[in-house]
Structure 1
Amino acid sequence: MKLTLLAGLLLAVIIRPAAAQSRLTGKILDAATGQPIPYASISVLSTTAGTTSNAEGEFELKAALPGRLVISELGHRRDTVAVAAATAPLLVRLQPASVLLPEVQVGSYLGDLIAQAYRQLRRTTAKKMYGQAFYRQITRIANDATEVQEMVWDAATTNAGMDGSAIVTGRFAKKMKAQISFNNFSVFTKRFGFNMKDDSLTQRGILGLNTARFYTLSLLGVTQSEGQQLVEIGFESKPGLAPLTAKGTLVINETTRQVLHLRFETPDLVNVKTNSLVSLVVKLKDQHSVFEMDFQPAPNAAVLTYIKVDYRASLAVPLQRNVAIQASSFTYFYNSRATPDASVTYAPAKGGEVDLALIKQTTYDPAFWQNNAVVKRTPLEEQVMKSFEQKGAFGTMLP
């Protein structure tokens, strides 16, 4: 799903075996407020090992120690921390980056900056990165977790989104009496991104040469980071002009013209593929979706680090009260390198794919999931996963 958004449409880290690896845990906090910093990037200097913090700022990874961790997040100053041994959880406090809040918008500055970022993206989007991705999805009905699935992919990415993938392993479980389940939710992750295929003069995505014609733009702030300026731009579609009713934010490095973050919110997403016990009469109302992509700056082209998808709706069944539905996924990309694995076919997503069918093509190995380092789950996620594991739901692959 590209950012014309084609309608129709936590985490674990596999670390390559290394000598004297230790299990390191910790938490990332804002030094000024003391609040957790979610989705901060944590990498081991001079290695491919890394992870990201969860929604509560916690992280976990395996690394050869002693070593140095590099921690970064867009709104904070990058920090490097020396770690001698994993004797206790690590507490890292990141200093907030200085933010300038402009009082006025300056002429066509925002539209011009987006157009420059678009040209930069078109010049560099052919530069692919190859590595692994870990995908976790949790579906909730009336706030009760009814479906969980996890997949590891070999993945090809660009600075516009995912380019292709091949499943390595996966597991799936759901409650037998769940009113509804999502059979291809991962396609939202695989297809979400910036549209680089349409004619640049006519395309109406939020990254293009004519963005200001179709979206109302606002300058939200400028962050000073390591001698460069990160410009945060708010956008909202103009009625009748943009392809979808949408709003959100873009973060662009003013120096390199690299797009580093996108948050895209829309109520217009339709044709969500589901399985339902009441498929003939069930209706999904009040649909609302939020997509996020995050990139790490790099010399040639920004490198994709994660994609978040959050879908919410109301399940309307005749003669019953509406029920809240939520499906959320988080995909983390790691071990990125410039050369592909010759044994892997990185295939683009297909519209008719069914996640469970793909997972069933793999062999379920409980030890694999127990022994791999996992980016620390939140307490709620931990509770959900253990409840399914204790019932043996993953091993039996409930239909």
Structure 2
Amino acid sequence: MRNCLLTVFLLFVFTTIKAQTIQGKLVDEITGEAIPFVSIGVMGTNNTTVTNDAGEFILKNVNFPVKLRYSHVSYFMLEQELNGPANNLIVKLKPAAINLKPVVVDPYRGLKLVKAALEKAAGFSTQHFYGNAFYRQLTSLNGKPSQVYELFYDLEFNLSKVKGWIAKQSRFAETNDGIAFSMSNQSYLTFSLAGYLFEEKKTGKTVTLKSLNDFEISIEKYIEQKNQDIAVVSCKYKGNKKQFYINSTYYIGVEDLKIYRLENSIFNLPIKLSGSSSKIPPIATTIATFNGEKTPIPVIENISTKLYLNLIAGGRTLTPVISSMLTIYQLDKTLNTQKFTELTKNVKDKAIIESIAYNPIFWKDNPFVKQTTLEESSIKMMESKSAFGTMIDP
């Protein structure tokens, strides 16, 4: 009987330890600085995540022992074995060698790389992907945090756009100090600006297979990885700078022709804001990271955007800055059975958020909701006012 009880106890302990969580931070081996947008995956599974702006990450439902893989285009890939849970794991990545002065044999090498990468992706343009995502948006007004909302939702997407979404959990808060500013469909703006390999627009100029000759394309440098070099290729628009246009920088594998990172600088964004006029055309920047290890094409993992505005409303100058972070932390083909809401510019974020009852238990100590310093100060301010809820205005 005693041995039987001992066996049951050991099985219970093993079961509770087997599926656990790993929390940690990725830093530069030389400088010690945090590394954002590092892909972390449990080898042999679909369990993956990406570090946030502060280099922090979390992996849930991990079965030990486990082997993790850390990858970033500017650092050497690292594999690490863990035998048990870790709550404060510090992982150091070694910077990859940078070749700033490549021998110029072919002046059209950059153009050929971008064209080949886009053509390769175009062969999969109709393939749909499904995944679980977390989204946070923070608005600062004249240098002070004014609004924050966070969403967990399921996504349907391809290489051209997000096709649809289903919100699962949400929370929202905003200050009430006499000045108000809100983007009613910032999520659509985020999705439409960044992370896609085919930016077909009716107006303005973006990098596509049809518009490559409109851009000055050159290789800035090579990142010397173990398996292949990554070419950093800049595409700068040569035409009329008064219209809407996007300058892009691609990180392309020279052997597999996959795009691993895409940075966009967006100028003269054609957006309309009611009740205000713009002193300076809006500017937006985006960074998107892709994972091409398990698929023949790069699949979006993370999108970070920042939108800068300079407005006059009611005789007052307003300088809103809207930042957002989208992380697709798990791909799941079985989600294709759901009925997704089509994502268009007519979708209003407020209506989506109001449709879901605020669940404080879900958000309390939620390990996935990691914050950078800026976001943390804003969220703490909102929580101190008991502001979080479904469209609560303290």
Tell me the TM-score normalized by structure 2: 0.86
Distance in 1 (CA, whole Å) between partners of 2:100 and 2:282 is 33
- 2:33 corresponding residue in structure 1: 35
**From 291, 294, 304, the counterpart of 2:289:** 294
**From 270, 275, 280, the counterpart of 1:285:** 280
Quick check: 2:128–2:157 contact (8 Å CA) kept in 1?
yes
SS at match of 1:384: helix
Distance in 2 (CA, whole Å) between partners of 1:287 and 1:242 is 12
Larger radius of gyration: 2
Does residue 163 of structure 1 match 2:157? Answer: no
- The amino acid across from 1:388 in the alignment is M
Distance in 2 (CA, whole Å) between partners of 1:87 and 1:168 is 28
Question: How do residues 73-222 of structure 1 correspond to structure 2 at under 5 angstroms?
Answer: 73-86=72-85, 89-103=88-102, 105=104, 106-176=106-176, 177-192=178-193, 193-195=196-198, 205-211=206-212, 213-222=213-222
**What's the offset of the Cα at 1:18?**
9.1
Distance in 2 (CA, whole Å) between partners of 1:115 and 1:355 is 36
SS at match of 1:124: coil
Does residue 394 of structure 1 match 2:392? Answer: no
- 2:63 corresponding residue in structure 1: 64
SS at match of 2:244: coil
Cα 1:122/1:180, change in 2 over 3 Å: same
- 1:266 corresponding residue in structure 2: 266
SS at match of 1:90: strand
Quick check: 1:53–1:375 contact (8 Å CA) kept in 2?
no
Does residue 330 of structure 1 match 2:325? Answer: yes
SS at match of 2:250: strand
Cα 1:288/1:241, change in 2 over 3 Å: closer
Does residue 346 of structure 1 match 2:349? Answer: no
**What's the offset of the Cα at 1:173?**
1.4
For residues 25-62 of structure 1, what are the alpha-carbon distances to aligned partners after superposition, in whole Å with 9 as ceiling and x for unaligned?
A: 22211112222211211222223333222212222332
For residues 152-192 of structure 1, what are the alpha-carbon distances to aligned partners after superposition, in whole Å with 9 as ceiling and x for unaligned?
A: 12112334443322222211111133331111100022323
SS at match of 1:79: strand
For residues 235-279 of structure 1, what are the alpha-carbon distances to aligned partners after superposition, in whole Å with 9 as ceiling and x for unaligned?
A: 211123997333231111122222221111122112155xxxxx5
- The amino acid across from 2:326 in the alignment is T
- The amino acid across from 1:309 in the alignment is T
Q: Percent identity?
A: 23
Question: How do residues 366-385 of structure 1 correspond to structure 2 at under 5 angstroms?
Answer: 366-385=360-379
SS at match of 2:378: helix
- The amino acid across from 1:366 in the alignment is P
State the number of aligned residues: 372
Determine which structure has greater relative contact order: mean sequence separation of CA pairs < 8 Å that are 6+ residues apart, divided by chain length: 1
Cα 1:65/1:386, change in 2 over 3 Å: farther
**What's the offset of the Cα at 1:333?**
0.4
Quick check: 1:161–1:304 contact (8 Å CA) kept in 2?
no
**What's the offset of the Cα at 1:370?**
1.7
**What's the offset of the Cα at 1:144?**
1.0
SS at match of 2:123: helix
- 2:304 corresponding residue in structure 1: 308
For residues 44-85 of structure 1, what are the alpha-carbon distances to aligned partners after superposition, in whole Å with 9 as ceiling and x for unaligned?
A: 222333322221222233233332221111101111112223
- 1:227 corresponding residue in structure 2: 227
- The amino acid across from 1:102 in the alignment is K
Quick check: 1:191–1:349 contact (8 Å CA) kept in 2?
no
Cα 1:94/1:19, change in 2 over 3 Å: same
- The amino acid across from 1:178 in the alignment is I
SS at match of 1:125: coil
Runs of 5+ in structure 2 lacking a partner?
1-14
Cα 1:353/1:287, change in 2 over 3 Å: same
Runs of 5+ in structure 1 lacking a partner?
1-16, 274-278
Distance in 2 (CA, whole Å) between partners of 1:270 and 1:124 is 29
- The amino acid across from 1:295 in the alignment is F
Cα 1:243/1:180, change in 2 over 3 Å: closer
Cα 1:75/1:242, change in 2 over 3 Å: farther
- The amino acid across from 1:39 in the alignment is F
| RMSD (CA atoms) | 2.7
- The amino acid across from 1:302 in the alignment is P
Cα 1:323/1:198, change in 2 over 3 Å: closer
**What's the offset of the Cα at 1:223?**
1.6
